[in-house]
């Protein structure tokens, strides 16, 4: 438990610094937000124009999960590790006034930034929650879609995350996640050699581990598709699955 808490605190410090403009060191999604492999560059012009500039500039992810999940009007969405809110705001537009989007983050600084961005954008169907993705503060079977952008790799207990995904989703619900994923040839120690945990590299699962973990949690139609390289043997990836 002490090791898990230490990893979580490392991540919290890095992203609190990013939210407050203090930077977050080098390597991976936090330290290389301006890199074409991470951040706002991975969103289309229309999506970037649809949110406040501060939300786009604070994007630290490795994809665009709102496009991956193919959101529909009236759906309830949960964004794990919502950061400054770019994916919550884009999701809120897609699900419309009859839908709702929850943004979950453990960093007070990011939550404050997200709430400012939502107010500036005039978004009224978004709710921001403080908490960790291993213990989501929502009742069971309350959401239609779970999205996340380069956050699952940061968790020190990914089995717990997958169980929570299955718990909060309604039957027939789906996940549409962007994440950093390793090739199966890389052992955990080799992943750690390529970047830090807070930098979205050391904690990345392999493709096989991702599929096995989601399958064990009860998901079906699990797909992990690489989209672009982020380091030797590691890729930005789209992860999809359905709760039967």
Report pLDDT digits (tens) over 105-114: 998 988 999 9
**Per-residue model confidence (pLDDT) at position 243:** 98
pLDDT over 80 (residue 209): yes
CA atoms of 166 and 140, how far apart (whole Å)? 9
132 has a pLDDT exceeding 50: yes
Model pTM?
0.84
Q: Give the whole-angstrom CA distance, residue 122 versus residue 125.
A: 9
Percent of the chain residues topping a pLDDT of 70: 73
For residue 176, pLDDT over 60 is answered with yes
Mean predicted confidence (pLDDT) in 93-97? 94
What is the tens place of the pLDDT at every residue in 51-84? Answer: 655 565 555 666 677 777 889 999 999 999 998 8
Give CA–CA dist 72/208, Å, rounded. Answer: 30
Q: What is the pLDDT of residue 34?
A: 41
pLDDT at residue number 62: 66
Q: How large is the average pLDDT for residues 33-53?
A: 55
Say how many domains are in the chain: 1
| Residue 26 pLDDT exceeds 60 | no
- pLDDT surpasses 60 at 141: yes
Residue 186 DSSP one-character state: -
- Name the average pLDDT for the chain: 83
CATH code of 204's domain = 3.40.50.150
**Greater pLDDT, 203 or 45:** 203
Q: Of 85, 171, 166, whose CA–CA distance to 122 is shortest?
A: 85
CA distance 224 to 208: 9
What per-residue confidence (pLDDT) applies to 6? 54
What pLDDT score was predicted for residue 43?
61
Identify the domain containing residue 25 by its residue range: 2-242
């Amino acid at each position: 438990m002490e090791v898990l808490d230490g990893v979580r605190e490392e991540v919290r410090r890095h992203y609190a610094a990013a939210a407050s403009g203090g930077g977050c060191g080098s390597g991976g999604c936090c330290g290389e937000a301006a890199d074409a492999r991470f951040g706002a560059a991975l969103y289309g012009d229309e999506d970037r124009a649809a949110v406040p500039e501060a939300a786009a500039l604070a994007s630290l992810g490795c994809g665009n999960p709102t496009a991956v999940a193919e959101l529909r009007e009236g759906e309830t969405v949960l964004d794990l590790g919502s950061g400054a809110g770019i994916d919550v705001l884009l999701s809120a537009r897609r699900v419309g006034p009859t839908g709702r989007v929850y943004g979950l983050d453990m960093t007070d600084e990011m939550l404050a930034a997200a709430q400012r961005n939502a107010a500036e954008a005039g978004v009224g169907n978004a709710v921001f929650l403080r908490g960790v993705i291993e213990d989501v503060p929502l009742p069971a079977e309350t959401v239609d879609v779970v999205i996340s952008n380069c956050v699952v790799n940061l968790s020190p207990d990914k089995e717990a995350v997958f169980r929570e995904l299955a718990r909060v989703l309604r039957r027939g619900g789906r996940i549409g996640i962007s994440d950093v994923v390793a090739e199966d040839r890389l052992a955990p120690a080799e992943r750690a050699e390529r970047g830090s945990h807070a930098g979205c590299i050391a904690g990345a699962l392999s493709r096989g581990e991702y599929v096995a973990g989601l399958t064990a949690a009860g998901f079906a139609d699990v797909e992990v598709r690489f989209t672009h390289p982020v380091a030797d043997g590691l890729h930005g990836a789209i992860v999809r699955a359905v709760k039967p």
